[in-house]
Amino acid sequence: MYFMVQETNKRRIIFHMDMNCFYASVEMAFNPKLKGKPVAIAGNPEERRGIIVTSSYEARAKGVKTTMPLWQARKLCPNLIVLRPNFERYRTASREIFKMMSEITPYVQPVSIDEGYMDVTDVKHLDSPMKIAENLQKQILEKLDLPCSIGIAPNKFLAKMASDMKKPLGITVLRKREISKMLWPLPVGEMYGVGEKTAEKLNQMDITTIEDLAHKDVYQLKQVLGINGERLKNRANGIDLSPVDPDAVNDFKSIGSSQTLPHDTTNENEINSLMDSLADNIERRLKRKHVAGRTVQIMIRYYDRRTITRSKKLQAFIEDKKDIVEVASELWKKHWNQAPIRLLGITVQDIHDKQDIAQQLDLFTYEKEASKEKLYSTIDMLTDKYGKNPFKQLINQEPDDQPRTSFQKDFLDDFKQ
């Protein structure tokens, strides 16, 4: 039995819980015959747009990686078992996991469907933090047959790094006094918060390890990376003051959707249809969250993987599909170079709650919008119940078995409900 006692001026104890090969592990728990075999989760195996969402460790041992095209994965692992994603199955498992975490402490911050932070600083129990972590790991394994790794540290960054150090079923403690031995020798590209492009910039500054970053002059880092340079240097030195915030699940500044086409195309009818579908998805999520945005961005990935993003900031906030499509189409016509594309994405940025937006509506506009609120609510209710909008034509529907960029964010919405 755990209970909370609020104390101040105490060193924090933070857990980062990370499920191991989550989607694949859920499928193996559902069908134990898959255990010990190379398993991959991917959408639409018959088409090129099918990419690896996740894979088992047996598949990874053969070189199969997340985001790898299916044809390439099958070439590396001919006996690969490919399954379509079952999102509802993953949501159900995730809810149970976060419920177990919340029974230990109310300070739980989901990061995605398969990972989250816990602040157990004020949990009073006879067990040590290590024992609490062992019990949680054991409970998830015994009740759900799912493996996880847990990092234990005095802050979120170090806990995140620690959870990656021992997989599967690892528990790693990373104290500040141990960072020179456990953290600094790692390549800077393996540091949480350092993407491929940032790693390239750091390498050009002769920063190849996390230790190099920890000792680099902060002014030089800010010259190249801006304020993020100082943030990364602090993290490399084990400094991260960000709290475990259960309400952070509600913090978002953009809503977007993207999709890879089944073939490279210059067909404008095909592109317009996809743009319409993406905007439809964005509109539903904007209305579900009762928000609007005033910047629209498009992402175009060409046949050679060259990717561009272009955006436009608007005078007024928008939430309707027709407005999103109008701005996205304008950006598309202005910036598309006529070369074949393989992926298109639309994002509405600069998001604000509608209650916080001072709208200057005339009476006609107000009545028009107010009259549609009941319709929107009914459609959203039916969509949530049946998994699709019953009033949309099938041609505009995205198949339920396709991994979507919005899935992780939609899960975070559900978590707070």
Annotated binding site: 18, 114
Cβ burial of 111 (10 Å; 0-12, 13-18, 19+) is: middle
Q: Which one from 58, 88, 103, 115 is the annotated catalytic residue?
A: 115
* Phi/psi-derived region of residue 344, left when phi > 0, alpha when psi is between -120 and 50, beta in every other case: beta
Give residue 415's identity as a one-letter amino acid code: F
Amino acid at 397: Q
User: Dihedral of the CA atoms 184, 190, 193, 194 (nearest 10)?
Assistant: 100
User: Number of C-alpha atoms within 13 angstroms, CB side, residue 335?
Assistant: 20
In what order do the strands lie in the sheet containing 341-353?
A: 254-265, 341-353, 291-302, 307-318
Residue 417 to residue 412: CA distance in whole angstroms: 9
Paired tokens of 79: 């006996």
* Cβ neighbours of 187 (radius 10 Å): 13
The CA–CA distances, whole Å, from 202 to 16, 127, 208, 213, 234 equal 26, 42, 7, 8, 15
C-alpha closest to that of 55 among 262, 72, 145: 72
Q: Which residues of 251-270 are buried (b: 16+ CB within 10 A; e: fewer)?
A: eeeebbbbbbbeeebeeeee
Residue (of 305, 291, 282, 303) closest to 398 by Cα position: 282
Q: Residue 373 catalytic?
A: no
What residues have CB less than 8 Å from 68, skipping those under 6 apart? 51, 52
- Supply φ then ψ for residue 295, to 5 degrees: -130, 135
User: φ, ψ for residue 81 (rounded to 5)?
Assistant: -95, 115
CB within 8 Å of 217: residues ≥ 6 apart = none
**Residues annotated in a binding site for Mg(2+):** 18, 114
* Lookup: tokens for 334: 């202005």
Q: How far is CA 233 from the centre of its chain?
A: 24
Question: What positions carry a catalytic annotation?
Answer: 115
